[in-house]
Structure 1
Amino acid sequence: MVRRFLLGIIAVLFASCDSGHQFTTLSPNANVVVLGDSLTYGTGAADGEDYVSLLSADTGWKITNAGVPGNTSADGLSRLDGLLALHDDGIQKVDLLIVELGGNDFLKHVPETETMRNLNEILAQTKARNIQTVLIAIPKFSPIGAAFGNLEDHPLYERLADETNTPLVESVFSDVLAKNSLKADPIHPNADGYRIVAADLKSALSDFGFLKN
């Protein structure tokens, strides 16, 4: 009975330790790349008001904004080698890749299996280079949900994060794009919205252990 009780406690402790991600903390001058689409580029706000610029200013990290409006997951995958060329050559180490892609796949009705495959390949190629990765969830395309202020992350992100053991930043865009006051248009935040995205992303990165509190 005592042995069974002790084993139960040990199992609970291991489950608690394994329930969250903890990754290597980045240095104050770390090099970070954000691979994304118009949401990363900052469409809907003025220069310097995108979430990447705000996060860079707040953390001190050197963050490359690799957001290209209109990009799908396939486009992001095709750009990956070029973005990491300096890392591969040993000229400039990349400490973290943040991936924000998939919204245009949903708008263009790209098959979910194809989006999953492309995102999985981006994560796999990056991890093969020993670069830490983070995935940002994007809302499931829902005009009705957007109209009534009720958006949810597309479920493929949680599945992909679980399958690849990748930390997932949840709900940042779903929460912002559900509020008209935080949107510049139906699919892009305004400056206030991007400020919230940056703050929530920073909080998540801190929780994962990438950023010191």
Structure 2
Amino acid sequence: MIVELGGHDFLQGKSRDQTKANLLQIIQQCRLHDAEVVLMEIPRGFMFDPFWALEREVAYETDVQLVSDTWLREIVLMSPYAPPGRWMPGSRLSDDGIHSNARGSTAIAQHVANAIRQMYGDSIFQPGYQ
């Protein structure tokens, strides 16, 4: 199960503790159904983030695989809204400037695949998958 909480708890004014409790409950429910969990880290702000390292903390405490927020930072860096993305072709953000487009989603999928590869090795992927 790939779990990405996103920014909704933050946007709804929930505290860090409430958000952590939500993540822990999601992981617990997944495990009750014998699902392995991959947790996606997502920054809620680039300058100030009161939730900073929350997913890392939860991943460490629950021993789940973490996909670091590098995936999102790469997408934003390559957006037309921030340098160097303004000067480089190949934006990875949709027109709303928040969500990924097809190129961004491909980059995200690669980061998730790498996390799954760390968990299970290459044998679970179809031949030729990178």
After TM superposition, is the score higher than 0.5? yes
- Aligned counterpart in structure 2 of residue 177 of structure 1, from 65, 76, 87: 76
Q: Would the aligned equivalents of 2:41 and 2:67 in 1 still touch at CA under 8 Å? A: yes
- Aligned counterpart in structure 2 of residue 156 of structure 1, from 32, 54, 65: 54
Which residue number in structure 2 is paired with residue 110 of structure 1?
14
Residue-by-residue CA offset, 1:116-163 (whole Å, 9 max, x unaligned): 101100101221232211111112323x58xxxxx9x93100000001
RMSD value, Cα? 2.3
Which residue number in structure 2 is paired with residue 16 of structure 1?
none
Count of residue correspondences: 110
Unaligned runs of at least 5 residues, structure 1: 1-96, 146-150
Is 1:203 aligned to 2:114, yes or no?
yes
User: How far apart in 1 are the matches of 2:73 and 2:8?
Assistant: 15
SS at match of 2:3: strand
| Bigger CA radius of gyration | 1
As a proportion of its length, which structure holds more helix? 1
Matches within 5 A, 1:1-213: 97-142=1-46, 154-170=52-68, 171-180=70-79, 181-184=91-94, 185-209=96-120, 211-212=122-123
As a proportion of its length, which structure holds more strand? 1
> Higher relative contact order at CA 8 Å, sep ≥6: structure 1 or structure 2?
1
Q: Report the TM-score, using the length of structure 2 for normalisation.
A: 0.72
User: How far apart in 2 are the matches of 1:120 and 1:106?
Assistant: 16
Unaligned runs of at least 5 residues, structure 2: 80-90, 126-130
Q: Report the TM-score, using the length of structure 1 for normalisation.
A: 0.46
Percent pairwise identity:
30
